[in-house]
Amino acid sequence: MHYRPLGDTDMRVSEMSFGTWAIGGSWGSVSDEESLRALDAAMEAGVNFFDTADVYGDGHSERLLAKATKGKENAVMIATKFCRSSDIHDAKTYSEASVRAFCESSLQRLGRERIDLYQVHCPPIDVLRDGAVFDVLERLKAEGKVREYGVSVESVEEGLLCLRYPGVKALQVIYNLFRQKPAEELFPKAKSQGVGILVRLPLASGLLTGKFTESSTFAADDHRNFNRNGDSFNVGETFAGLPFEKGVALARELAWIGEGRGSMASAALRWILENDDITCVIPGFKDERQVRKNLAALETPGFPAEERGKLRAFYEASVRQAIRGPY
């Protein structure tokens, strides 16, 4: 396992880290016992950073992380997020009283005295323009309840706006072979300002595993069913904003990346890790098998310049215009 600095903070995190949306909820059925075994397997492999949120299973993934990391609080860092358990369009959600309440609730569920990275969870852009929430986070940081803070964003515009605030030390973004725009301007600018980059949805909700067909179906409680067209939250959070059938067809055209690299998923993750502007990638998982498959990307052969150029040209010609929603 290799470790990379989280911007110019004192944190060094495993380049392969993990997100816990799937074990909290909205990805179909999952077993807590399996989730805990998976978390243990990740930590045994050297993973020292996990991302979660207060709304993942209404705090369930935070509780699972508390159980899995008990006694390892100084060795394993946790990032969590806030605001989406309330009305994200109400200014009161970002008031000091509200943010403190969100923070204290997460600390209680996590069984910790400090949150390593506290992130505003995809707020409306007007909240970022106002910036008052960052003053509250500065106070929580000064009190030792928050080590560093950042923002999970939906678009490059939002990310660039966050870079105006010197206290923001991390941006969490959607980035994968189907969603390459952040690498053009946002990533290098963030790096130059000492801001870390966490990459979520690196496999485009599973499209980049190559395992789906146009007839694949998902459970009623899986966001790949209920948010397929952005009915519940930003459409970019599901299949990178691509219409499902289009995404399946595009993934089929990319199947070649898995040749000699173990699997298409490992190749897609390796492509992300080759970008030095990125701090870590945080794929999701439901069980130990998926954790180990994601970790296999660490040993996967990389992409020569010719192949990287081919992948960029494919994105520009076949993918970019098909993505829905702001990005």
Q: Would the pLDDT of 207 be above 60? A: yes
Q: Which amino acid is at 124?
A: P
What is the reported pLDDT for 325?
A: 87
Q: Would the pLDDT of 32 be above 90? A: no
In what order do the strands lie in the sheet containing 280-281?
18-19, 49-51, 77-82, 115-121, 146-152, 168-174, 196-200, 280-281
Average pLDDT over residues 163-168: 97
The 10s digit of each residue's pLDDT in 245-269 is 999 999 999 999 999 999 999 999 9
How much of the chain, in percent, has pLDDT values that exceed 70? 98
Q: With contact defined as beta carbons under 8 Å apart, do 233 and 37 qualify?
A: no
Q: Would the pLDDT of 26 be above 60? A: no
Q: With contact defined as beta carbons under 8 Å apart, do 29 and 260 qualify?
A: no
The 10s digit of each residue's pLDDT in 57-80 is 889 999 999 999 999 999 999 999
- Per-residue pLDDT band for 28 (boundaries 50, 70, 90) equals low
Mean pLDDT of the chain: 94
What is the reported pLDDT for 219?
A: 87
Q: Check residue 256 and report its DSSP letter.
A: G
* Total count of residues recorded for the chain: 327
Q: Whose structure tokens read 């790096």?
A: 191
Query: At 119, which helix (H) or strand (E)?
Result: strand 115-121
Q: Which amino acid is at 207?
A: L
Average pLDDT over residues 113-122: 97
- Per-residue pLDDT band for 220 (boundaries 50, 70, 90) equals confident
Rg (CA), the chain: 18
**Confidence (pTM):** 0.93
Distance CA 128, CA 100 (A): 18
Q: Is 76 exposed, middle or buried (0-12, 13-18, 19+ CB in 10 A)?
A: buried
Distance CA 51, CA 55 (A): 12
Q: Check residue 263 and report its DSSP letter.
A: -
